Structures are given as structure tokens and as C-alpha cells.
Amino acid sequence: MDLDRAAGRLRAGGRRVTAQRRAVLRALTELGCAADAEEIHGRARRMHPRIGLVTVYRTLEAFTAEGLAQSVFLGDGRTRYEATEQGRHHHHLVCLHCGRIATTDECTVQPLEGTILRRGFEVTAHRLELFGYCARCRTRR
């Protein structure tokens, strides 16, 4: 997500572009996928040391509302976030042993959305998470 596009989206939503928001945006892209608020806060602080955790939460809320970020739930009791990649879309593979998170670009959900639409429900988004054991953990036990 480049800064100009993000700034434009924020302004279009009547929101302002601040140093803190730039820091959170950069933190999000640097952290890659499924980072939690604490991690984002830590990373954003490198660029803007005085940023508070509360601001990170509020910024993530604004980003989500403007489509710049999206949330992910992996069942560990915290909300995770990642920058929205325009046109792209990925899912998470969570290793139940080491906790590492991998991703996959493949998605076989679309045909399902079709059959659901035929029942009257219009799908606008979906979330898919896969759980299991990564190559490393699978061989070492």
C-alpha cells in the first residue's frame, strides 16, 4: 500500500493524514501479515517514538473503515491486522505446534459464493484460516 493512495483514501473519508498514521501504515506493511496491535505499536514507535497504543487502535479502526487494512482472527484472543493489498487476497496457515503463520494465495471459495448467492445471501467477503502442522514441525516429531 503506497502512501499517496492511502493518504487519498483517508482524505476521501474526511480523515486527516498524520505522522502517526503514516507510521502505522509503514509498520503494517513492514510486519507483513496478521500482526497484533502490540506488535504494530512497537514497530510504529521506531518511526514515531511518542505514538501511544491507543492511537494505534484508533488508527487501525480508521484504516479498516477506509479499506486500507483488514482484521484477522486466529483464535488467540487478539485481533490481528494487515494492510489490504488491492486486488489480492490471501489466507492463513497456522501451525498448531510452533504458531508460525504462513499464507496461501490460492482460494477455492468462489464457487461456494455462487451457490450461496443462489440461496439469496450475497457474499461480499470471506475469511479462511487453515490449521495444521508446518513442514518443519511435521518432520521433527
Partner DNA sequence: GTTCTTGCAAACAATTTGCAAAACT
Partner DNA sequence: AGTTTTGCAAATTGTTTGCAAGAAC
Query: Is 18 or 71 the residue whose CB approaches its own copies more closely?
Result: 71
Question: Among DNA, its own copies, none, what binds residue 58 when CB lies within 5 to 8 Å by partner kind?
Answer: DNA
**Residues 27, 37, 68, 69: which binds DNA (CB under 7 A)?**
37
For residue 52, state whether it binds DNA (rule: CB under 7 A): yes
For residue 89, state whether it binds DNA (rule: CB under 7 A): no
What is the residue-wise DSSP string for 9-45? Answer: HHHHTT----HHHHHHHHHHHHH-SSEEHHHHHHHHH
Contact region with its own copies (CB under 8 A), list: 2-10, 16-24, 40-48, 104-112: 104-112
Which residue's C-alpha cell is 496461501?
104
For residue 109, state whether it binds its own copies (rule: CB under 8 A): yes
Query: Is 37 or 94 the residue whose CB approaches DNA more closely?
Result: 37
CA dist 141 and 120 (Å) reads 47
**Residues 3, 19, 107, 123: which binds DNA (CB under 7 A)?**
19
CA dist 26 and 45 (Å) reads 11
| Contacts (Cβ under 8 Å, ≥6 apart) of 129 | 72, 73, 74, 91, 92, 93, 94
Question: Among its own copies, DNA, none, what binds residue 112 when CB lies within 5 to 8 Å by partner kind?
Answer: its own copies
7, containing H or E segment: helix 3-12
CA dist 50 and 31 (Å) reads 19
For residue 133, state whether it binds its own copies (rule: CB under 8 A): yes
Residues that bind DNA (CB under 7 A): 10-11, 14-21, 36-38, 48, 50-55, 57-59, 61-62, 77-79
